[in-house]
Each structure stands twice: as C-alpha cells, then as structure tokens.
Amino acid sequence: MNSKIFGYIISAIGLLAIAISTPKIMSSIPLSSTIPSLSKYLLIGGVILVGVGIVLVMSKTSNKTKLGKEIPIYKGKEIVGYRVVK
C-alpha cells in the first residue's frame, strides 16, 4: 500500500479518536465509566496518530523523485554531464 494512502487512513483514525474523546460523546459510552481516564488516553493516542499520519503523507516516495538511472556522458576522459535512462 502506498505510504500516503496509509498516512491518510491513520490520520482519519486519529481524528476519529479525538472526536470520540469529547466529554459529550464519552458520557454516552458505557465503557467510559469503568476506565476513568479513557478520554485522556483516546485524546493522546489520537494526536499521536494524526502526527504519524501527517509525517507519512508529507514524506517523499522514491518513485516520484527518481526519474531513472543516471549514466555519465564522457568527452575524452572527463565527465561532462549525466543522462537519465529509464
């Protein structure tokens, strides 16, 4: 799977966790009464997931930045340039 798509998915899960950690939604979840600090854990986890997702989305993939293999162009014994071969 492409890292950018994976980053978007992780960011969406993080945003969902942040939205669930609001007090209004947490009061309607029966599990929140058994674990008193569940909203804090969801909020911290959601922020971390959004951060990781943003890093993955912003990272460059090697397929788009590299055009091909570079071959040197010689003039005598000196290299005068490079040619890209796909």
Q: For 1-59, write each residue's pLDDT tens digit.
A: 688 899 999 999 999 999 988 888 888 877 767 777 888 889 999 999 999 999 988 88
Q: What is the per-residue pLDDT for 65?
A: 43
Q: What is the per-residue pLDDT for 63?
A: 44
Four-residue CA torsion sign, 27, 31, 35, 38: negative
Report pTM.
0.64
- Per DSSP, 76 falls in state T
* Residues belonging to the chain: 86
Q: What total of structural domains would you count in the chain?
A: 1
Residues spanned by the domain of 53: 3-85
Q: What are the phi and psi torsion angles at 12 (to 5°)? A: -65, -40
- pLDDT range class, residue 66, cuts 50, 70, 90: low
Amino acid letter at 44?
Answer: I
Q: What is the per-residue pLDDT for 1?
A: 64
